[in-house]
Chains A and B, each alone.
Chain A
Amino acid sequence: MKNSVLILMIIWGFALAVSAGTISGQVSGVAGQSVVFVDTIPGKTFPAPTQRPLIDQKGLVFQPHVTAAQVGTTVDFLNSDSVAHNVFWTSVGGNKKLGHNLGTWPKGERKSFKFDMPGAVPILCNVHPEMSAYLVVVPTPYFATSDQMGNYKIENVPDGSYTVIAWHEGTKNQSKPVSVSGDTKVDFALSK
């Protein structure tokens, strides 16, 4: 029984390796992290992910500054500072009806929120106006957060034709039609 499972897994892994590739490249023209993701694929839905990304408040800074998550993800917000922090956002993807105030809480406590709509969420702390972070909620499981230089790599994308979007804080999203077959390169040049 064990052997047959193993064989099945090997076959499955082989099948994946054949039909799935990567999308990688660079987002240039802007400083800092960007998010690159595959836009909604018509006729396709994805189960809600089980991983819970963490956005920490430490040293009066949101860490990390940019987080990407698939629609349906529950995000944890932690306060690691010895002062009270607050978490609120005024919109999701520009929709003000989705603004929310998660509360103000002391060190060591965390609160969670499930994001059911796609779009960028500017995360703020009312106590410390210089603090800000972004959560980018994306419609598919095919997404990546770039490094500080803009290099990104989206893994395990099935071969096919997609719209790929680059997001960066303070700029307009840029989309490109992309045909993925194996390892595919896509670069974006954004400007503020």
Chain B
Amino acid sequence: MKSWSLLSTKCLAAIFALLLQLSGQTAGKEFSVTPVRGESWINHLHKRFSDTSMGKTFHSGPAAPMPGEKPIARQEKLSLDFAARTMAFHGADIYRLNCRGCHEESGHGTPPEINSVIDPVRATSVEVIMARMKKAGMNMSRANAALLAKQSNSALLDRFHKGGQDMPPFPQLSEPEIRSLIAYLRQLAGVPGAGAQQVAISESPSHVGELIVKSTCHICHNAVGPNPSPEQILDGAIPPLSTLTTRTSLPEFVRKVTAGNPIIMGKDSMPFRGRMPVFDYLSEDEAANAYMYLTLYPPQE
């Protein structure tokens, strides 16, 4: 896949658009994919990258090679048709692309900043409420439990649509995606019978990229802004999303996201591991979808 790195951004955009058309998907129409806009979520909250657990996976990339050492060789495993293939996504995938960066694989988050999703989700189950109250010696009727469950369910839906004090809203998620996500959240929270209720959704590559960029990358990266110098990066600058497709080639981007890659920081232009977490739970194809999305739908103010 080395050839991807030889192509210019413009050329890539044309290829991506062609691939999408060939696969019957017109960019920006059926899937109502829109560009990422505005400041990052942590900037919106006036939080510093170093003071938050948001978007952190707590995995870091490989150390940079010492002077004279060769960087670790790596074989890209990108699928040839990553830009054209429609994928069947389950709620677990929706969770992975949108929630896991902050709430972790387990859903427990990093309290007190990032709250656990488990209890609010369990609170939406009539069976769980009735079992809990029975255990506490306060048997509850099904009708009363159903009323509590209904309230918790609308509080949960509100959370996706409006966000919270520290949580962004998720307008990029469609209603079928939210339903599929809730089915998975119930499974994750151990709601009885939830495993059998999982549903698959067919997702276009550009929408997969959109979800990753808007829900995960945009937590820390602004949409647009100046391309920071190595010195500014050493001082904590985070390159805006609009610069990523020119700062890096497709294979470099995929590697940085999924496995980590040293970055040039500071006056002496030395490579360092960098501060960006490694998103090893994203596949290379998914990371490539994010690159393609950033190319086809350039980030806006």
A residues neighboring B (CB under 8 Å): 59-60, 82-84, 86, 88, 90-91, 99, 101, 103-104, 106-107, 122, 126-130
Q: Does A126 lie within 8 Å of B112, measured CB to CB?
A: no
Interface locus among B77-85, B132-140, B252-260, B261-269: B132-140
Give the residues in chain A near B164, CB-CB below 8 Å.
82-83, 107
Q: Does B138 lie within 8 Å of A126, measured CB to CB?
A: no
Q: Chain B at the A interface: mostly helix, strand, loop or mixed?
A: helix
B window 102-128: CB within 8 A of A: 112, 115, 119-120, 122-123
Q: Known contacts A82-B165, A84-B155, A84-B159; is A127 also within 8 Å of B120 by CB?
A: yes
Contact of B115 among A83, A88, A91, A107 (CB under 8 A): A83
Give the residues in chain A near B129, CB-CB below 8 Å.
126
Contact of A126 among B123, B158, B159 (CB under 8 A): B123
Nearest CB in chain B to that of A132: its residue: B136
Q: Does B119 lie within 8 Å of A129, measured CB to CB?
A: yes
Q: Does A104 lie within 8 Å of B152, measured CB to CB?
A: yes
- Extra inter-chain contacts (18) besides given A86-B148, A103-B151, A107-B165, CB under 8 Å: A82-B166, A83-B164, A84-B120, A86-B152, A88-B148, A90-B133, A101-B147, A104-B152, A104-B154, A106-B155, A106-B158, A107-B164, A126-B148, A126-B149, A127-B119, A127-B155, A128-B119, A130-B119
> Complex formed: what's the CA distance from A105 to B122 in Å?
17
How close is A89's CB to chain B, nearest CB, in angstroms? 9
Q: Does B152 lie within 8 Å of A129, measured CB to CB?
A: no
B residues neighboring A (CB under 8 Å): 112, 115, 119-120, 122-123, 129, 132-133, 138, 140, 144, 147-149, 151-152, 154-155, 158-159, 164-166
> Complex formed: what's the CA distance from A9 to B198 in Å?
73
How close is A112's CB to chain B, nearest CB, in angstroms? 18
Q: Does A83 lie within 8 Å of B120, measured CB to CB?
A: yes
Nearest CB in chain A to that of B156: its residue: A84
Q: Does B152 lie within 8 Å of A59, measured CB to CB?
A: no
Give the residues in chain B near A122, CB-CB below 8 Å.
138
Q: Does B165 lie within 8 Å of A90, measured CB to CB?
A: no
> Complex formed: what's the CA distance from A88 to B140 in Å?
11
25 A/B residue pairs, CB under 8 Å, sorted by A:
A59-B112, A83-B115, A83-B120, A83-B164, A86-B151, A88-B148, A90-B138, A90-B144, A91-B138, A99-B144, A101-B144, A101-B151, A103-B151, A104-B148, A106-B155, A106-B158, A107-B165, A126-B123, A126-B129, A126-B149, A127-B120, A127-B155, A128-B123, A129-B119, A130-B119
Give the residues in chain A near B140, CB-CB below 8 Å.
90, 99
Give the residues in chain B near A86, CB-CB below 8 Å.
123, 148, 151-152, 155
> Complex formed: what's the CA distance from A60 to B115 in Å?
10
How close is B149's CB to chain A, nearest CB, in angstroms? 8
Give the residues in chain A near B165, CB-CB below 8 Å.
82, 107
> What total of A-B pairs shows CB separation below 8 Å?
60
> Complex formed: what's the CA distance from A83 to B121 in Å?
13
How close is B138's CB to chain A, nearest CB, in angstroms? 4
Nearest CB in chain B to that of A104: its residue: B151
Q: Known contacts A107-B165, A126-B152; is A84 also within 8 Å of B132 by CB?
A: no
Give the residues in chain B near A83, CB-CB below 8 Å.
115, 120, 164
Give the residues in chain A near B166, CB-CB below 8 Å.
82
Give the residues in chain A near B158, CB-CB below 8 Å.
84, 106
Nearest CB in chain B to that of A128: its residue: B119
> Complex formed: what's the CA distance from A101 to B148 in Å?
8
Q: Does A127 lie within 8 Å of B138, measured CB to CB?
A: no
> Complex formed: what's the CA distance from A128 to B112 in Å?
14
How close is A10's CB to chain B, nearest CB, in angstroms? 51
Give the residues in chain A near B159, CB-CB below 8 Å.
84
Q: Does B138 lie within 8 Å of A104, measured CB to CB?
A: no
Give the residues in chain A near B152, CB-CB below 8 Å.
84, 86, 104, 126-127
> Complex formed: what's the CA distance from A156 to B79 in Å?
82
Q: Which of A83, A86, A91, A106 has the most CB of B within 10 A?
A: A83
How close is A86's CB to chain B, nearest CB, in angstroms? 6
How close is A181's CB to chain B, nearest CB, in angstroms? 41
> Complex formed: what's the CA distance from A99 to B138 in Å?
10
> Complex formed: what's the CA distance from A88 to B141 in Å?
13
Nearest CB in chain B to that of A83: its residue: B115
Nearest CB in chain A to that of B122: its residue: A129
Q: Does B119 lie within 8 Å of A104, measured CB to CB?
A: no
Give the residues in chain A near B144, CB-CB below 8 Å.
90, 99, 101
How close is A159's CB to chain B, nearest CB, in angstroms? 40
> Complex formed: what's the CA distance from A104 to B151 in Å?
6
